[in-house]
Every structure is written in C-alpha cells, then in structure tokens.
Structure 1
Amino acid sequence: MTRVEFGEGVGRAPVAGPARVLHTRADYPSLHDGDIAVVGTPDTELVLWLDRLAGIVCLTGTAESHLAMLAAEADVPCLMLRSVGEEIVDGCQLVLDPAVGELRIAQA
C-alpha cells in the first residue's frame, strides 16, 4: 500500500530511498548514503550531511527556506510538506518527486 503526501518541492529529478527520521542532531550520524532525511525543524548542522542524502523531507518551512536553498545548491531534492496525515516510519521506502511536490510512502 502506498500513501501520498504533497508539499513544495525544490529540485527536478525524482529520487527514491529509505526514510531516515531525524529527531535531533544526535541522529545525524545514523545517515547512510542514499537515505532520504525526514526532519521536523532542521538545524544548520544538517548541511554537513547533504553529500550522503538522496533527498530531504522537511515537516516545517517553505521552498524559500534556508534549508531548501542549501539543498538546491547541493543538488539534493527537497520537499517541504504542508502536513503529514500519518507519521513517516524510519526505514520505510520513499519516492520524492520535487517537480510535482509529491512524496510516495510505501507502507507495510
């Protein structure tokens, strides 16, 4: 089963990968190459990890936010969600399409 959420996208190319839910900056070292980071309120330290990420899903902010601009500069697709119907579970498969502002979430 797949759930779809919508938001403001930054970037053009769709990406897929496992969700890595980051609650605090202490979670950042758990990031693996190809992860899609899911963050509530990001801090500036996330910038140090952009080279590992396939994409970013942010639960706050807009496409004009600092994070979105830095992600665009690093060529990392980013989606700023308007709202989330249900929690995104760590490790679930995501497909992020920033061009249409869509996040597909594979659910078990």
Structure 2
Amino acid sequence: MIIPNARFLRHSYEKNKRNLTQRSENEKRMMAGILVKELRNPQTHKLGYVSCFFSKEKYPITVNGGAQRYLNELVHSFISAGYDVTIDKAEDGFSINLNWTTACSPIDLP
C-alpha cells in the first residue's frame, strides 16, 4: 500500500481553500451588483424597498452557508449605507430585502 505524501495533500487542501475563497468573493460581488442594479432602477425608488432572490443553483456556496463571512460583509455594507436589511431563507435559496423607508442611519448602528 502506498501512503500519500502529506505535502501533496496539504497542497491540494490549500489550492481548494483558495479556490473556495475566490468563488465566495465572486458570489458576493455578483449579489452586490444585482442589488445595486435594482437600487438604481428609478421605478423601485417609489416602492421604498427592493427584494432580490438568490437561488441555490447560481450561488451554491453562499446559500449553503459556506460563505457566511462574505454574506455578512455584504449585509453590513448596506446597513452602513442606511438600509434596513432582512434575509428571508427558503429551501432553494434566500432573498435579501432592502428597505429605505425606515429611519435607519449608520449613526444608529451599535
């Protein structure tokens, strides 16, 4: 029986970890882009809120909880901009809801 070299396994582990981190950051950027695009739409200004659904097929890492850090960064960036942010989870994904009708400002944050 041939025992695999630990150096090879460590290299594979580190490569997978870097790949997962990069994919998580990409998912965060894509989600932020979708939310910002919706916010820039003049028709949504009158509604007072935006809700975007992110499916498990398009965002597998974030939806399955593997990128919680990046999701938290995304949420905090919108909170610091003054939005009231809620996340509604479902079986096949989750939706991020941004509301700007409530008086929430960065000063109000703990």
User: Under a length normalisation based on structure 1, what TM-score does the superposition of the two structures give?
Assistant: 0.28
Larger strand proportion of the pair: 1
Larger RCO: 1 or 2 (CA < 8 Å, sep 6+): 1
User: Under a length normalisation based on structure 2, what TM-score does the superposition of the two structures give?
Assistant: 0.28
Larger helix proportion of the pair: 2
Radius of gyration: which is bigger? Answer: 2
